[in-house]
Each structure stands twice: as structure tokens, then as C-alpha cells.
Amino acid sequence: MAVPLFNITPDLTVSRLCLGTMTFGEQNSLPQSFLLLDKAFNSGINFFDSAEMYPVPQRAETQGRSEEYLGRWMRERKIPRDCVVLASKVSGPSGKMTWIRGGPMCLDAGNITEAIDNSLFRMQTDYIDLYQIHWPDRYAPMFGETKYDPILQFHSIDIAEQLDALGRAVDAGKIRYVGLSNETPYGVMKFLHTAKCGPGFPKIVSLQNSYNLLCRNFDCGLAECCHHERVSLLAYSPLAMGILSGKYFSPDGGPADARLNLFEGRYSEGESRYNLSNTIVKNATKAYIDIAQKYGLHPVSLAIAFVLKHPLVASAVFGATKLWQLQQVLDACKMELNPEIIADIDKVETNLLTEIKRLLYKV
């Protein structure tokens, strides 16, 4: 069964599964990456996501390899350029990744233009189909944070300047469409409003945010924005960094080469999102795994099918380091969750929210 397609715009059609490449160059060697790309492409996946900072955990020695591997695969396999949709991202302000444009310090026009040119060079392609701002050039709760603290706000580059730089890249044929990532309702609407005000400013067509059974923040505000403004959700981390597969609940704590085990203590952004020492996260995950077992489903199929069921999700952006993991995700395209399964999922969500409120408000 071929992977279904989704029209983000009339001339931007993506597969409903998107292979993320952030393991390429770290967990996956070049030959391993090629095998994963081959299988994905031959199975009907035409959508591939990368970023200038990949792979993760980010290191100066490996930065850019994911884009390089993706570009080499296209050239060596002689993949027609119009048969794939390439997505990449420009890194926002970061005091840690000093090897990327000195920080990067900000997302001004110069930084955006340089990042686009560097990505084009690494992938050896003339254009990028979807270019995304990886995270905002301003303070905003992200990467697992949910509480906004106004004290943390810092000087940020005007959104008009960012859109102007992206618009110039569109006019130059370097990118086709523009998207956001790790954004808030305020950010999405601000970009959309600003795009209407400036000559030649590109409209935001997609939002790549985390969405899965354990993380449904998108439905609290962002969903309404995206629905009315026709912005498609690219749901990343549909398996909650592999937790929803159930592999970390084995007696040995999961495979040694599983991401959270392999990079324990080195992947703070990931570990902060889904802390398995958190009783709420652990109990909710186990409940979802029980639902999968109840209906004779693989937990991966349940998790992926849940994300794809959302009416605003254009594609689920997933990662895989092994061919059998990729096959599990492909199999999920065959799944349709019936009302009984959805009702059981909703019960877990209700119980989860009740427990969170109890802890927060001591009720």
C-alpha cells in the first residue's frame, strides 16, 4: 500500500509520512542512511526533512552531515529533483552552537540568507521546497516548556525583516515555500499578519510542532489558528522520541543504542520533553500500550495512526535508525482507528489532564 499524499498547496504535495534525517551522520552512517532513504522513497515517501544543525545531539564535528547525506543520496541514486520534497530549517538564536554563524546570534536577513546558501551547498541542489524557521527569534516556551515568563524576553529581530529575507530567497528561486517550527499561537498569527502587510512577503504554509499521544499542546490555541489560516501541521515526534513504541519499558530498559539510552545526559532538550521518571508520563504511556494490546495493534501503529487522524496534520515527521523501524511506521498507514479505540484514548487523556491539574493545583 502506497503512502497517501496531502496537498499543502496546489503545487506542494507531500506524502503523509515524512522521513526526518536528524540521525544521519550520528546514529546512522552514510550507507545506513542510504538504505533508509531507499526504502522510504520506494515505499511512496516523497517528503524528507532536515536542518542545518542536524544531526543531533549537535556537535561541531558533525554539523551539516544530515543535509549532506540527503543530497548525496539524491545525486548518487539519480533521483529526479521534482520527485522529492526537501525541507530544511534555519537555526534560531543559540548561545551553545557557536560553530553555526557564531551562535547563531539572531535571525536577521544576513543570517537567514547565509543559512539558505549553506544548506543549498550541502545538499547540492538548486532549491529547497519548504524552508522553516527552526525556532523563534524571540523568547518563547519550547522544547518541552509550557509556561511563559515575560522576564526572559530579549531583543529580537523584527518579523518583517525575517519575511523579507525569506521572500527574497523565494524570488531568487532558492526556496519555494516557508514554514515555522516550534512556534506559539502568537508567533503564527504575527507571521501571518506581517506577511499581509509587506510587498512580496511569503505566506506561512506549514507549522512543524511536536504532536503525539503524550503531547497535544497544538490543540490548545494553535489548531484554531492553523484551521482558519489554512496552515498545515507537520507533526514531529509522533512516537514521543520512541517512548510510545514501548521499548523503554522492557526489563533491561530498552536497547543500548536507543536514543534516550545512547545519549543519556547529552540530550537535555529531548530528555526534558518526556521524562520517564515522571509518573504521569510513564502511566499514560503504559495505558496507551495497553490499548494497543487490547485491540491487537502494535503500539507504533496506534501512535502514528492517532497523529494522522488529526484533520490538520499534513504529514507525520518521524525518525528511524533501522529498516524494521521504518517498516513499522509504514505499516501504520494501513491503520484506521475505530470509535471504540478513540474512546479509550480519550479516557486516558482525560485521566492524564485530571492528574496534572491535581498536582498543579493540589485539588
**Burial grade of 282 (CB within 10 A; 0-12, 13-18, 19 or more):** middle
Q: What is the pLDDT of residue 2?
A: 85
Cell of 223: 489548531
Q: Taking phi first (over 0 means left), then psi (-120 to 50 degrees means alpha), and beta for anything else, what does residue 163 get?
A: alpha
Cell of 281: 508520563
Q: What is the pLDDT of residue 363?
A: 43
Look-up of cell digits 542510504:
34
Predicted TM-score (pTM) of the model is: 0.95
Catalytic site includes residue 54: yes
Angstrom distance (rounded) from CA 84 to CA 113: 23
**Burial grade of 32 (CB within 10 A; 0-12, 13-18, 19 or more):** middle
Q: What is the pLDDT of residue 96?
A: 85
Angstrom distance (rounded) from CA 37 to CA 242: 19
CA angle, 238 then 240 then 242, to 5°: 100
Go through the domains of the chain in sequence order and give each one's CATH number. Answer: 5-277+300-338 (3.20.20.100)
Q: Other C-beta atoms within 10 Å of 127: how many?
A: 17
Q: What is the pLDDT of residue 267?
A: 64
Q: What is the pLDDT of residue 156?
A: 92
DSSP 8-state class, residue 185: H
Q: Other C-beta atoms within 10 Å of 84: how many?
A: 20
Q: What is the pLDDT of residue 271?
A: 65
**Burial grade of 241 (CB within 10 A; 0-12, 13-18, 19 or more):** buried
pLDDT digits (tens, 9 = 90+) for 281-323: 888 999 999 999 999 999 999 999 999 999 999 999 999 999 9
Contact 11, 19 (CB under 8 A): no
Angstrom distance (rounded) from CA 130 to CA 180: 10
Contact 306, 275 (CB under 8 A): no
H or E element at residue 7: strand 5-9
Rg from Cα positions in the chain? 20
Contact 290, 279 (CB under 8 A): no
What are the residue ranges in the chain where pLDDT is below 70?
Answer: 1, 267-272, 356-363
Q: What is the pLDDT of residue 272?
A: 66
Phi and psi angles of residue 254, each rounded to the nearest 5 degrees, phi first: 95, 170
Residues found in the chain: 363
CA angle, 237 then 23 then 185, to 5°: 35
Burial 115-126 (b: 16+ CB within 10 A, else e): bbebbbebbebe
Is the bond into 339 cis (omega within 30 degrees of 0)? no
Contact 22, 66 (CB under 8 A): yes
Angstrom distance (rounded) from CA 215 to CA 306: 12
Q: Other C-beta atoms within 10 Å of 82: how many?
A: 8
Catalytic-labelled residue, pool 54, 131, 177, 248: 54
Cell of 289: 500500550
Nearest C-alpha neighbor of 350 from the set 338, 362, 358 = 358
